[in-house]
Amino acid sequence: MTAAGEARRPWGRAALWLLLLGPLFFASYGYANSVAAARADVPSLAFAWERAIPFWAWTIVPYWSIDLFYGISLFVCRDRRELDTQALRLLTAQVVAVSCFLLWPLRYSFVRPDSDGVFGWLFDVLLGFDKPYNQAPSLHIVLLIVLWVRFAHHLSGAWRWLLHGWFALIGVSVLTTFQHHFIDVPTGLLAGWLCVWLWPERIRAPWRDAALARDPKRWTLAALYLGGAALCAWAAAALSAGALGGWALWLWWPAASLALVALNYALLGPTGFQKRDDGRLSVAARWLFAPYLLAAWINSRLWTRRAPQPVAIADGVWLGRIPGRGERERFVAVVDVSAELSLADARADDAVRPMLDLVAPTPQQLSEAADAIAQRQGRGELLVCCALGYSRSAAAVAAWLLRSGRAASVDEAVAMLRRARPAVVLRAPHLRALQALSATPAPAAHGLGTQRA
């Protein structure tokens, strides 16, 4: 017998959300159009190569179909939480896009060819309320991301591939119906993934645990990343007028990525990277942080190229860098304390205890990591890792050595680590956190890894 919560979908609540979102969509979209139309000069941003984009009248069908997917997306949700998440994503998409339309309106500048028949009628209906002003970010593309994530969550096999194909057509249609210039597409993708990132599933929303950082090092790093974001933004603006042309505008992606990293260090903490229990970052985080993540992965491999293999510390516990695909065969479990890199080949018994890079963990974080090690130690070879295996993971192993009685003091724990891996980096803040941890009673759970006399 099916439980009532599983048998009943929140269709009534979905209808109420649609009654709110539908009129809001057309009212706010129309208002932004009217404000732009009242301006004397609305600029346009188009590249010369866009004139080679063909006009395909038939793509007005997938273009229009997004309205159908919009409504249905609320009714496919299985429970109230999923429904409210979807509705809030749609609402955020509207707020973000319309705010952009009002702050910096753009105009579509090409002349659309005439069309007749059913396709021509669909264009006539569209032009009845649409004007060539609401451009970047393309609200169609923003909604495409939000809707694709929702339906992909419910479909599998051939149906999922059909979804991918149709949504690809929707994405292409914003250009082939002569509704948008190219700049509207990547800005729409950025805004769409931002909506999904703000309202995630399976993990807590990044803003729920937001608190101003107390560690001065976090503020220093936030300032550095924000400076990097500003530099990328300046380069995007300055170089786009030179030889690089429109290609330089892609620098806005690392600018946005680094700005979000700065936000994590200043306010959100490791939660902002949205690393799930399965060891992977959320798909929204992987897209938004992609330039930073690529640099972080390359950095991890460059720094460890001379010592890529993990080292044994004590009683089956190993210390090393985060493993890539095929690099963890010997280990029955992994305790991963990296916040920014996904764990490849993750297994059910792995533990994820994310910590920010280049920042000393708090005693609470070290306690949680030591507990995770203690619970898994003794079942086979266990790898404790972070991006490099030099600092965060080393502090976690030191915490386990102290809590399990394998080291009588912080100095002894650090000495054990340095004998196995001389490159370990544990500075004064790490040592203070370990001292604070050693001064508190160990929870009963740590007894699972306690060394016996």
Residue 405: count of CB within 10 angstroms of its CB: 15
Residue 345 has pLDDT above 60, yes or no: yes
Q: What average pLDDT does range 246-258 have in this prediction?
A: 92
In a domain, 204, yes or no: no
Measured between alpha carbons, how far is residue 217 from residues 220, 250, 320 in Å?
5, 30, 24
3-state secondary structure of 336: strand
Residue where a domain stops, chosen among 270, 300, 330: 300
How far is the C-alpha of 284 from the C-alpha of 361, rounded, in Å?
A: 26
pLDDT of residue 445: 47
Q: What is the pLDDT of residues 362-419, one digit of tens each?
A: 999 999 999 999 999 999 999 999 999 999 999 999 999 999 999 999 999 999 999 9
Q: Do both 184 and 264 map to the same domain?
A: no
In a domain, 210, yes or no: no
Tokens of 124: 């006539």
Q: Do both 21 and 58 map to the same domain?
A: yes
> Is 386 part of the annotated catalytic residue set?
yes
How far is the C-alpha of 292 from the C-alpha of 253, rounded, in Å?
A: 10
The parent domain of residue 401 ranges over 306-449
Residue 226 has pLDDT above 60, yes or no: yes
What letter would DSSP give residue 319?
Answer: E
Q: At residue 14, what are phi and psi to the nearest 5 degrees?
A: -65, -40
Residue where a domain stops, chosen among 276, 300, 324: 300
pLDDT of residue 137: 95
Q: Do both 289 and 318 map to the same domain?
A: no
Q: Do both 339 and 437 map to the same domain?
A: yes
How far is the C-alpha of 448 from the C-alpha of 453, rounded, in Å?
A: 14
Q: What is the pLDDT of residues 52-103, one digit of tens each?
A: 999 999 999 999 999 999 999 999 999 999 999 999 999 999 999 999 999 9
In a domain, 206, yes or no: no
The residue annotated as part of the active site, out of 195, 232, 385, 386, is 386
pLDDT of residue 9: 87
Q: Do both 296 and 315 map to the same domain?
A: no
Q: Do both 167 and 225 map to the same domain?
A: no
pLDDT of residue 36: 87
Please state, for a pLDDT cut of 90, what percent of the chain lies above it. Answer: 77
Indicate which CATH number applies to the domain containing 385: 3.90.190.10
Please state, for a pLDDT cut of 70, what percent of the chain lies above it. Answer: 96
206 band by pLDDT with thresholds 50, 70 and 90 = confident
Residue in this structure with the two tokens 């890894």, named with its chain if needed: 449
pLDDT of residue 314: 96
Residue 2: count of CB within 10 angstroms of its CB: 7
Tokens of 104: 């910096």
267 band by pLDDT with thresholds 50, 70 and 90 = very high
pLDDT of residue 243: 67
Q: What is the pLDDT of residues 113-170, one digit of tens each?
A: 888 899 999 988 887 777 788 888 999 999 999 999 999 999 999 999 999 999 999 9
3-state secondary structure of 384: strand
Q: Do both 291 and 329 map to the same domain?
A: no
> CB under 8 Å to 380, separation ≥6 — which residues?
316, 331, 332, 333
What letter would DSSP give residue 43?
Answer: -
Q: What average pLDDT does range 204-222 have in this prediction?
A: 92
Q: Do both 296 and 319 map to the same domain?
A: no
How far is the C-alpha of 47 from the C-alpha of 38, rounded, in Å?
A: 25
Residue 300 has pLDDT above 50, yes or no: yes
Strands 351-355, 333-338: pairing kind: parallel
pLDDT of residue 129: 74
Tokens of 357: 């890079």
Q: Do both 248 and 155 map to the same domain?
A: no
pLDDT of residue 7: 60
Inter-residue contact 314 to 449 (CB < 8 Å):
no
> CB under 8 Å to 329, separation ≥6 — which residues?
none
How far is the first Cα of the chain from the last one, in angstroms, to the nearest whole number? Answer: 53
Q: Do both 263 and 368 map to the same domain?
A: no
